[in-house]
Chain A
Amino acid sequence: MPIILPEDPTPIAKVPSTENKTGGWRTFRPVIHYEKCIRCYICWKFCPDAAIYFAPPEAHESPKEALAKFDTVEINYDFCKGCGICANECPVKAIELVLEESVGGDE
C-alpha cells in the first residue's frame, strides 16, 4: 500500500468557518435589552467573531420613534463565544451578560 499524503504542502481549509459552530464555548450569554438599544452598531463593530448581525427595523422595539426606521441588531448564539466585548462597549449598557446555565443554554 502506498503512503497517502495530503496534496497541499500545508493545511489549506476550503470549508468556511460557519460550518464549525463554536457557541458551546460560552459561559456568559449577551442578551440585548431592546428597550435601551439606540441602534448605534458599536457592538457589531467590536464583536471579534461577527456574531452580531443586522435585522430589519421592525424586528425589535425601539426606545425612540426616530430610531425605529433604522436596522436593529441580533446575536447569533451559534457563534457567540460570550467574550462580553459587546456588553463592555455598548454606550447605553443595553447588553447584559447572563450566566448560560441560568437561561438553560441549548448548545
Chain B
Amino acid sequence: MKMILTGNESAAWGARLSRPKVIAAYPITPQTSIIETIAAFIANGEMDARYIRVESEHSAMAACIAAQNTGVRTFTATSAHGLALMHELLIWASGARLPIVMSVVNRAMAPPWSVWTDQLDTMAERDSGWIQLYTQNNQEVLDSIIMSYKIAEKHNVLLPTMVIEDAFILSHTAEGVDVPDQKKVDDFLGEYDPAFKLDPDDPAGFGSLIMPEGPYMEFRYKMALAFEDARNEIKKVVEEYNETFERNYSPFIEEYRTEDADAIMVVLGTIGSTAKDVVDRMHEKGKKVGVARVRYFRPFPAEELRMLARKTDMLGVVDRSYSFGPGADLYAETRSVLYKHTDIPVKGYVMGLGGRDITPQILEKVFDDMLSVAKEGVVDKEVEWVGLHGDERWS
C-alpha cells in the first residue's frame, strides 16, 4: 500500500510491521514523532505491544534489555543527547548479545544548542558494538527496520542495530512510501526465536563477573566474529528482501556512476541523494564523477571500499561530523582500510555540521576540488572544512 509518510512515520511503520512486544522510549526532538506514532498505533489497538514510558533514555535502553532478555522483540528510538545518555546501556545491550533494533535520528550535540542533523551522535557510538545503518530516504528507513530484525536475530549475529536517519531532511519530510503487506512481513521475519532467555524453569544469571583469567577476551572475540558473520547475513537478507518486496538495495555501498569515474565522493545518509543529482549535472559538463553512499558503517565495508578505490583516481570522503584527531570518522576509516591497497589520493571534507544545508552548489565545488586533486595526484590538505562563514572558496 502506498502512503505519504515522514521519515519518522516510516520508522514507526517499520517497527509496527516487525511486531515488537515491548517499546520503551523517552521523547527527544527530532525523534519524538516516531514514538508518538507508535503510541497511537498501540492506543488504537493496531499494534499489540506493551509501551513503557520511562524517565530517561538510559532507562529506555535498560527496559529494552530486560524485556528482550525475556524472549521478545523490542524497539526504541532516540537522538543526540538521548543516545549519549544511553551510552552505558548500548554497550551492555551488545555485550549481552540482544538483537534490539533502534531508530536513531541524527542530531547535533550541544553546545551550541542545535536540533538539526549532524552525525556526531552516532559516530560517538561507533565502538558500542551496534550494527549501524545510515539511510537515504523514507522507504529505506521502513525497509531497513524490518531487515535489521532479521539480520540481528540470526544466532550467529545477535547484535543490536541502529537504523539511522537524518533529522528533518528525512524525519519530518513526507514522501511516497510503499508499506508492505503485514502477512508478507510476517512470513519474511518469522517468529522471534531467542538464542537464550530468562526462564523460571531453568534459572540463570546473565552478564556475570569474569575474572581476568576467565573468558572475558573470548566473549569479546566472539562479538568480533559475529560482526564478520553479520556481513554475510546482511548480503543474504538484503537479497531476499529485494526479491520478496521488489526493491534493489545494495548491501553495503550504493554506487552511482562510479564506473570510469575520475573521482568518487564517499558519503553517508541523505547527502547521497543530493550528490547523485549533482553527478548528473557534472556529467553534462563532461566531468566524470560518481558517488558511493555507504549504508553500513558497522560492520565497516572494508573490502567494498577497496574495490571502489580500484575504479577511480581519487576518493573524496564527506563527513557530517568531526573527530578531534584523525579529522572525521568515515574519512579516517576509509583511509585506514585502503592503506597499502591503493596509491590514489583520499581527501576528507567536513561539512553540514549542526544541520547546515549541503546544497548542490557546494557539492559541485567539492567535486571540482576532487577533480583537481585527482589531476595533481596529491592531496593539498588532508581534511578540509567546507563552507565556513567568510570562506569564499565554497560560496
Which A residues fall within an 8 A CB radius of B?
A: 3-6, 8-14, 16-17
Contacts and interface: CB of A to CB of B under 8 A. Distances in A.
B124 to A, nearest CB: 24
A3 B224 CA distance: 14
A11 B95 CA distance: 9
A16 B97 contact: no
Contacts of B96: 10
Contact of B218 (A6, A13, A14, A17): A6
A17 B206 CA distance: 12
A4 B221 CA distance: 11
Interface stretch (B47-55, B207-215, B238-246): B207-215
B222 interface: yes
Tell me what chain B mostly uses at the interface: helix, strand, loop, or mixed.
loop
B221 A12 contact: no
Interface in B109-154: none
A3 B226 CA distance: 16
Nearest to B208: A13
Contacts of A9: 97, 158, 195-196, 219, 222, 226
Interface of B: 95-97, 158, 195-196, 203-208, 210, 215, 218-219, 221-222, 226
Contacts of B95: 10
Given A5-B221, A5-B222, A10 B215 contact: no
15 contacts: A3-B221, A5-B215, A5-B218, A5-B221, A6-B218, A6-B219, A9-B195, A9-B219, A10-B206, A10-B207, A12-B196, A12-B205, A12-B206, A13-B208, A14-B204
Contact of A11 (B158, B195, B219, B226): B219
Contacts of B219: 6, 9-11
A94 to B, nearest CB: 33
A36 B238 CA distance: 70
A3 B225 CA distance: 13
Contacts of B208: 11, 13
A17 B205 contact: yes
A3 B219 CA distance: 12
Nearest to A10: B97
A11 B207 contact: yes
A45 B122 CA distance: 43
A17 B96 CA distance: 19
Contacts of B203: 14, 16
A14 B206 CA distance: 9
A13 B204 contact: yes
A5 B215 CA distance: 8
A8 B95 CA distance: 12
Most buried by B among A8, A11, A13: A11
Given A6-B215, A6-B218, A6-B219, A11 B196 contact: no
A3 B221 CA distance: 10
Contacts of B210: 11
Given A6-B215, A8-B196, A13 B222 contact: no
Nearest to A6: B215
A6 B222 contact: yes
A16 B195 CA distance: 21
A22 to B, nearest CB: 12
A9 B222 CA distance: 7
Most buried by B among A3, A6, A10, A14: A10
A14 B95 CA distance: 18
B97 to A, nearest CB: 4
A4 B97 contact: no
A34 B95 CA distance: 47
A98 to B, nearest CB: 30
Nearest to B157: A9
Nearest to A16: B203
